[in-house]
Each structure stands twice: as structure tokens, then as C-alpha cells.
Amino acid sequence: MKQARPVTKTEKIIFPIGITVMIDLLLPPIAPLITMLMLGNPLKELSSIEILHTKIHNANRAAKATLTDIKTKE
């Protein structure tokens, strides 16, 4: 299916936030579920995912190095 028009980055960020607010106000019992589902797209568009991935990877590598040092000292 051909895309009608290009979607701007601003629209990609604002749409999930708007939907989340509307659903949270109209259907409070499912608010946590919708909020978590809609949170991924703004994070992806704001490049937060790459930064978080890098930080987690570096922390994991540091933890492995620390554990290796502890094992070798024993």
C-alpha cells in the first residue's frame, strides 16, 4: 500500500502521546497497558533507545569484567 504523504517526526511523537491521554481519560482501567504500548514510538523517534542500549551494554560489560576479576582473585 502506497503511503499518502510522508509523516513528520513531530507527528510520530505527538500522535501516541495524544492517543494515550485520550484513552487514559476515557478508559482508566486499561491506562497502564495503553501507556506502555504507546511509549515505545516516541522513545524510538527521540533516539532514546540507542542511548539506553549503549548504556546497558556498557554496564553489562563492566559487570562481567568485575565478576571475572573477583573470580581470579579467589
Structure confidence at residue 27 as a pLDDT band (50, 70, 90): very high
pLDDT of 28 above 80 = yes
- What pLDDT sits at residue 26? 95
Question: Does residue 4 fall inside a structural domain?
Answer: no
Query: Residue 31 contacts by C-beta under 8 Å, 6 or more apart in sequence?
Result: 23, 24
Mean pLDDT of the chain: 83
pLDDT tens digits for range 35-71: 888 887 787 777 777 777 788 788 888 888 887 777 6
pTM reported for the whole predicted model: 0.56
User: What span, in angstroms and rounded, lies between the C-alpha atoms of 31 and 19?
Assistant: 11
Q: How many domains does the chain have?
A: 1
Residue predicted with more confidence, 52 or 10: 10
Question: Does residue 47 fall inside a structural domain?
Answer: yes
Question: Does residue 63 fall inside a structural domain?
Answer: yes
